Structure formats: C-alpha cells, structure tokens
Structure 1
Amino acid sequence: MVSPMFRLETEVDNARRDLLRRRLRETNTAASPVLRALRGTPGERESALHVWVMDSDGALAGGLVGHTWTTWLHVTYLWVDARHRGAGIGSRILAEAEALAVTGRGARHARVETWDFQAPGFYRRHGYEVVCVIPDYPPGITEYTLTKTLR
C-alpha cells in the first residue's frame, strides 16, 4: 500500500524514464568496482550502432539497430525484407555491425535475444552460443539469449 505522502502514477513519462535510468546507472556504478573503473571512459558510454541496406530502388532491404556499452555489442533488432532473404544480406549486416563494434568501439563480445521462430539458428551459424533459454515467453514461444566473443 502506498502511503498518503506518495502519489502513484502510471502514465508514460519519457523525462522521468530517463531520470530513473540515470539514477539506476549511478547506483549501479557506485556499487560495482568494475563500473566505477569504467566511469568516464569512452567504453562506458552507451552508443547507438545502426547498419542499413537499401535495395536498388532505395527501399529498406534490411537493417540492424543496436548499441555498444562497455565491451559489448547488443543487437536489438536485425531484420531483412522477405524479398531479400537468403541472399546473405543478414550475414553482411551482422558482420558489419560486429566489425564496427570491434574496430571503432573496442567491443569484445556481442549479445542478442531472439525467439524460436525467428533466428536462433542464424546466430548459431555466426558463432553465437545460447546462454539462456526462457520457455513460454511469451506463451507458446521460447526466447533465447545468445552471446559471441568477437575477434
């Protein structure tokens, strides 16, 4: 039960979300020797990483949205249009993202979450290993977390 001194709110508030994230990061950094050692270094900062492939008509054929943080590349989304699947575009996009993360940002590892009907086999073929399996998330689906050591 919330005390009368507090007000519970449920609306989406991006400014509060960002404040909460900053404060959580500050708390985590203060509690972790590793994160404290990284404070202020370029590797500590989260940095967006995007790779886009356009077809000959200029339409989006595929892309990757992710970010790097500390020594990790986190692949958030990787998608290839159905018309272009099987042509190696996804492999090229992933390889480019990994290369950018390693050479430009010092990443040594990568991680991705995917569902059983999406691409766990694709990531395995590219050297990723399953480190977590969550069955029935969402119901009827299995989620996989995969990681890879980058060279």
Structure 2
Amino acid sequence: MMFVIRPDNDAQYSRLIQNRLRATNRERCAWLRANPSAAETRNFLAFDGGQLIGGAVGFVRFGWYFLDLLYVDAAYRNRGIGRQLLTAAEHFASDRQLVGVRLDTADFQARGFYEKMGYTLFGELADCPPGHTLYFFHKTFTQPKEKP
C-alpha cells in the first residue's frame, strides 16, 4: 500500500482533521466528554475616546483562559493599560471558575511584566523565533478537577 503525503492549505481538510482529532480526544478524556464546547473567544479592548489603543485577545479552552495577544499602542504604554487589560482577563477567568490564565511571551516582549503580575514560568523554547526564547507562563485561580 502506498500513501501520499502532500502539502495542502484547504480549510475544508483542516476542519476535517480538527473534527477527527477532537472526536478521538473526547473518546480518551472524560473531561472533554463532559465539557464538549468549542473554544470561546473572549477579548478585552482599551479605547481612548473612540480610538482603539490596545487589547487582550484570548479564548477559553480546557477550563483555562488562553491569552493569545496583549498589546498597547506605544504612545499609551507605561500608563497601567496593560495591567488593566490583563486584570480584566484574570477577573473573567476567575469569575467563570476557570483553572487560570495561560500565555506565552518572547524574550523581546513582556516577560518581566507577567512575572510582576504574579505569573509562574512553566517552560521555555529556545530559537522560537530563531535567536530568541519563547516563555510559557500561567497563573492559577482554582485547583484543576481530578480525573474521574
């Protein structure tokens, strides 16, 4: 039997693979069977008047809030806006009784900021992007539920 491997960016195939993997994961994980919902996007935005000046972009999955992006326009930095955005995401996660917030940041971004905000480093990946390090952080609010 001969298998063919080829590059393909067709969204239809991507969805099909995602659906198959999610079904397999639900078969193997009781928590996923009990919590079958797809990722829920939850963003927090900062405005000056009507002008967007920053935001926290993330989603809920596996009982965690995954902070994907946190950005504040350069002219508005060092005014506590990033802290307010992150705190809003944390309050959302805590109010929803999520386990916590998980994020990553590169060495040229905001590692010190997240450490000051009480985040715990749990991993790092060298050369991502090449010549730099990607750091993985979390802040836990509740104890993870035990395996059934």
TM class by shorter-chain length?
A: 0.7 to 0.9
1:67–1:73 contact (8 Å) kept in structure 2: yes
1:64–1:94 contact (8 Å) kept in structure 2: yes
Deviations 1:68-114 (A, max 9, x none): 113201000110000000000001001111112222x3312110011
Distance 1:138 1:132, change over 3 A: same
1:46 to 39, 53, 57: 39
**Which consecutive segments of 4 or more residues in structure 1 shift more than 6 A?**
none
Task: Tell me the SS of whatever aligns to 2:13.
Answer: helix
Residue aligning to 1:30: 27
Give the 5 Å matches for 1:2-151: 3=2, 6-36=3-33, 38-40=34-36, 44-56=37-49, 58-103=50-95, 105-150=96-141
Size of the aligned set, in residue pairs, is: 142
Name structure 1 gaps, 5 residues minimum. Answer: none
1:64–1:75 contact (8 Å) kept in structure 2: yes
For 1:148 and 1:100, how far apart are their aligned partners in 2?
Answer: 13
Could you tell me the TM-score, scaled by structure 2's length? 0.86
For 1:75 and 1:132, how far apart are their aligned partners in 2?
Answer: 16
For 2:7 and 2:127, how far apart are their aligned partners in 1?
Answer: 27
2:93–2:100 contact (8 Å) kept in structure 1: no
What's the offset of the Cα at 1:64?
1.0
Name structure 2 gaps, 5 residues minimum. Answer: 143-148
